[in-house]
Amino acid sequence: MKLKFITKSKGAAGEYSEYSFNSHTGCSHGCRYCYLKGMGMNHPPKPKKMLYVDNGWILIPTTPLEFARDCYRPELKQLIAENPTVKEKGIFLSFATDPLLLQTIEYTNAIIKMNARYDVKSVLLTKTSNKSWLIWLRDYFMTLPNYDYEDFKNLIEYGVTLTGFDELEPDAAPNRERKKSLQFAKTRKFTTWVSLEPIIDFNKSLEMIEQSKDFTDYYKIGLHSRKKYARTEALEFKRKVEELLPTGNFEFKNSFKKLIDEV
């Protein structure tokens, strides 16, 4: 199936999700380590061309509702028909931007609503701390016909990136605020998760786990592609992660596994 609006993930992105939706490219967080720099997307969010329609003369921007209804929905239905596992695995928002920025959030809302309509999970990853949005989302789901808590829990996964280094993420919400939003999401019965990627410092990442483990359902852990790490330190980090999270609710990405020779 040839996809136009939903992206088939490749490489390291595929370790997060098989499919994603990216309404914009670029981000305003200004993270010093951002992989978007190497892709020419280290700029404020810009809408992708797919959000516009050609009327024969000029490109006209679609509203989030129009886009979700007229463009995204037909492709989503076809994808479900060809690959029903997308419902459970979910669609990731987003690899090319943050889904909860001022420029992106309305499209994110429209896509989440459309995904829910067809019982497809939405998996979000952000560096914001928007509690009012979390309240809105929970309230929206509660207005749906035949609303059930388990449906809501299975259709939304709310995640934040935690590095512990605010100075490397100057325009993102501070790590402490992201943790608060994660805790708040958990009290609202969201499935919550943390991306510990990139690891800037092993000890700081352990600190992030210690401070968030009581309200985090699972962790994904990966390295910085442009940073060198000592294998002995990585092995000790792995041992401590296993001690902190004895239920095994974590996954080391291939970048980490290769370092310790498990791939």
pLDDT at 162: 98
Asked if omega into 205 is within 30° of 0 (cis), the reply is no
Question: Is 98 within the bounds of a domain?
Answer: yes
Domain tally, the chain: 1
CA distance 234 to 150: 37
Question: Is 103 within the bounds of a domain?
Answer: yes
Cα–Cα distances in angstroms (integers) from residue 87 to residues 79, 115, 116, 214, in the given order: 10, 9, 9, 27
**Bridge partners of residue 220, in order along the sequence:** 195, 251
Question: Is 148 within the bounds of a domain?
Answer: no
pLDDT > 60? residue 178: yes
Residue type at 101?
Answer: L
pTM here is 0.93
Angle of CA points 218, 247, 181, to nearest 5° = 30
Question: Is 38 within the bounds of a domain?
Answer: yes
pLDDT tens, position by position, 186-233: 998 899 999 999 999 999 999 999 999 999 999 999 999 888 999 999
Question: Is 120 within the bounds of a domain?
Answer: yes
Residue type at 238?
Answer: K
Q: Which domain holds residue 25?
A: 1-126
Question: Is 221 within the bounds of a domain?
Answer: no
pLDDT at 201: 97
Mean pLDDT of the chain: 91
Listed in sequence order, the DSSP H helices in 118-156 are 131-142, 149-155
Question: Is 188 within the bounds of a domain?
Answer: no
Question: Is 191 within the bounds of a domain?
Answer: no
pLDDT tens, position by position, 108-162: 999 999 999 999 999 999 999 999 999 999 888 888 877 777 767 789 999 999 9
